[in-house]
């Protein structure tokens, strides 16, 4: 007996994975920051949250793929995909210190 093992990626699955990846950075952080001070004044500062960057990229990619698949179904599935896209973009912006 040969069983056919195949993985089907649906827009719901991709939205779920992306949503989970986008929510993780709200609870787990791996941040680094640095500042440069000249004559007592801060001249530059950087902030990175690597967990937010990785989670945001995963969420963004899953959201794009889910949106492409959901366009065929329409309705609330497109809304879920867009929500995952927005969450991914937010996490990337947060990870880069823009927010």
Secondary structure class of 90 (helix, strand, coil): helix
Q: Do 19 and 84 meet the contact criterion of CB atoms below 8 Å apart?
A: yes
Distance CA 75, CA 91 (A): 25
Residue ranges per structural domain of the chain: 11-95
Give pLDDT, residue 1: 46
**CB-CB neighbours of 22 under 10 Å:** 27
pLDDT in tens, 10-51: 888 888 999 999 999 999 989 888 888 888 888 888 889 999
**Phi and psi angles of residue 97, each rounded to the nearest 5 degrees, phi first:** 85, 10
Calculate the CA 73 to chain-centre distance: 23
Structure tokens at 73: 């179904």
Alpha-helical (H) ranges within the chain are 11-23, 50-73, 76-95
pLDDT of 6 over the 50 cut: no
């Amino acid at each position: 007996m040969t069983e056919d093992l195949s993985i089907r990626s649906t827009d719901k699955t991709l939205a779920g994975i992306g949503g989970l990846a986008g929510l993780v950075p709200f609870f787990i952080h791996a941040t680094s920051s640095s500042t440069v001070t000249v004559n007592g004044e801060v001249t530059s500062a950087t902030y990175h949250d690597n967990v937010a960057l990785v989670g945001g990229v995963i969420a963004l990619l899953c959201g794009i793929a889910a949106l492409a698949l959901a366009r065929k179904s329409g309705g609330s599935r497109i809304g879920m995909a867009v929500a995952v896209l927005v969450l991914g973009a937010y996490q990337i912006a947060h990870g880069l210190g823009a927010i």
